[in-house]
Chain A
Amino acid sequence: MSQAPTQRINGLALFILPSVLLFALFFFLPIGLMAVMSVLTGNPVVAPRVAFTTRHYARIVDDPYYLEVIWTTLRIGLLTTLVALAIGYPLAHWMARIKSRTGHALLLMAVLAPMLTGIVVRTFAWMTLLSDKGVINQTLISLGLISQPLKLMYSETGIVVGLVHIYVPFMVLTLTGVIGRIDERLEQAAENLGASPLRAFIEVTLPLSLPGILAGSLLVFALAISAYVTPILLGGFQIMTLPVLIYQQISANFNVGFAAALGIVLLLISLVLVIAYNRALGLVSGQRELQ
């Protein structure tokens, strides 16, 4: 007589079960509902007769205005990511390689300090600097350097400035961990073999820090394209991005289906960009696991 195999419940599975449920409930379920709402004529919970439709997606494709909005959103996201990377990488490198503990602590505090203030407050602070009656314009006018205020707000530049200030800490903190784990002796070996410090950095440190660049860039890009407060306040409603348009459709047009379709389009475009970015970086760095 054969003994029935006793199956033991994996302890690890039980441990991660709450996280999986939480993830399913607050991530997959809302996105799934959003996808369903985007192809319905109304809300099936409250409306009596609801049918499937593709009209929300057709509206996005048929009207070039919505394609312009999508491109504006992506452009702001990409610019913010590039500038945050350009500012964040040297800072992260410095933080990772600084020998003094006090120096590291001070740099960390400097990076984290802005995060102790809310996004709305920081954006309003930028408004006091960039507006027509703001510090920059008024100083330049009082010095006689300009006669009319410069258009620093209500432009994509203003939005990118505000977003970069908010998201640079995310880039720095992500990169610091990765750069900190790169063995300094690899750079020293390259220099011993005749490479200049710049070449050692380009040939050794930079490729090895690519996973950090990828993670930091994806984080900043995702946050930038979904930002609402900063584009609204610094763009003065004259720069339309997808989150602003989605909010407008829900709050003022009460068109949840169209808002859901816009959300799904944003999600798909982001997904495609993330996959493409991942593959491109993998090819450049030669790291197969990234491809």
Chain B
Amino acid sequence: MMKALGSTRLSRRRFLAAGASLAIGAIAAPHVARADDPVLRITGWGGKWGDVMKAEIGPAFESEFKCKLQTDSAFPYLPKLQASSRSAPIYDVLHTNSNEQWAAAEMGLVEPKVDPKLVPNLADVYPYAVSDKIVGVSIFTSAIGLGMRTDKGYGSITSWKELWDAKYNGVRGGYVIPVNSLGQAFLMMCGTLFGKGQTDLDAAYTALEKLKPIKIVDFTGAMEKMLLSGEVGLCVIHDSGIYRYDGQNQPTDFIAPSEGVLSLEQVLTITPGSKVKELANAYVNYMLRPEVQKRLAETVWYSPANRKVKLDAKYDAKLLTTPEKVSKLIQVDWKWYNERKDEIDQRVNRIFRA
């Protein structure tokens, strides 16, 4: 007897095939539905920044602008952008620190300025955010100063120069200057403290020699951990690296030295070869919106660049939210620094070798 074609009997094989198809369909459906949405490829930090971007800020942008946000948080970004084609860059918007943005601009990888006509919120930012020391626009800044343990009886610290005090030998912390923005900014501060100014490299090198013994790390997160564990007692750090542990009863505090705090800017730039320039500008504008700035500032303790942002009292008291506070920021001439980076790296690598 021949088996009837188109039999409706549900065999185990058919059941499994149907089940698998349904499962694949259910998983793929949202992706298929959004396949036509334009994709904006950006870079961004991990940690709390990444969490709030993924959970709130990013989805809200996607919903409003009917697009897909694709974030690369695997640092370093610039070598990847450098290796990609100029006409089809790997990112549309590059978010990184100012020193790298200057290097990217010098290589022609990012546009040096953001157009105020396309980014209206640019009109509301503090002057430092679009100064001649900035490529693109700084959306946030941190203050680089000193971090200290409050349980070691060090007393009151008011000056950068106290980092050189012999009593901090063995518990002094700094950065790998060739790879870290804070370390590079601190080197420039050494020139100011002990020489004729930021560009006095000889004075800076002599000061760095005298700073030994010092424990050096490549990343601010590592410095936070060393300070929290007591491995270092006094170190160079940015304010958000201390304030983000607010409410956890950690015996640490941030010191804004009397000579001024250095600026650690979070900068956005747009790549010249981006195929979604309109969306890229919209993203930069969105990141400067007061409500977005407030949410991020109160999550990661970054000082917002938009003058119109009103933070809650707890944050307002500590972050740089007024023209007077912002005026204490010292910006580094990264263009000058990057032109001499190889020479500086060779010298500081020698200074800090064991």
Contact = CB atoms under 8 A, between A and B. Distances in A.
Interface of A: 43, 45-46, 63, 65, 131-133, 148-149, 154-156, 232, 235-240, 248, 250-256
B133 interface: no
Contacts, number: 69
Given A133-B230, A133-B231, A237-B216, A254 B353 contact: no
A151 to B, nearest CB: 9
A155 B83 contact: no
A252 B216 contact: no
Interface in B9-44: none
A254 B107 contact: yes
A253 B99 CA distance: 11
Contacts of A240: 349, 353
11 contacts: A46-B86, A133-B231, A154-B354, A155-B354, A232-B218, A237-B217, A240-B353, A253-B345, A254-B103, A254-B107, A256-B83
Given A154-B215, A232-B218, A237 B345 contact: no
B178 A248 contact: yes
Contacts of B156: none
A253 B353 contact: no
B79 interface: yes
A148 to B, nearest CB: 7
Given A251-B76, A251-B179, A65 B352 contact: no
A149 B178 CA distance: 28
3 A-B pairs with least C-beta separation: A238-B354, A251-B76, A252-B179
A131 B231 contact: yes
Interface in B79-127: 79, 82-86, 103, 107
B8 interface: no
B341 interface: yes
A245 to B, nearest CB: 8
Interface size class for chain B?
A: 20 to 34
A55 B138 CA distance: 36
Given A46-B83, A46-B86, A250-B79, A132 B178 contact: no
Interface of B: 76, 78-79, 82-86, 103, 107, 170, 176, 178-179, 215-218, 229-231, 341-342, 345-346, 349-350, 352-354
Nearest to A149: B170
A197 B228 CA distance: 56
A239 B341 CA distance: 20
A253 B76 contact: no
**Residue among A132, A252, A256 with the highest chain B CB neighbour number at 10 A:** A252
B346 A236 contact: no
Given A131-B231, A252-B178, A235 B354 contact: yes
Contacts of A237: 176, 216-218, 352
Contacts of B103: 254
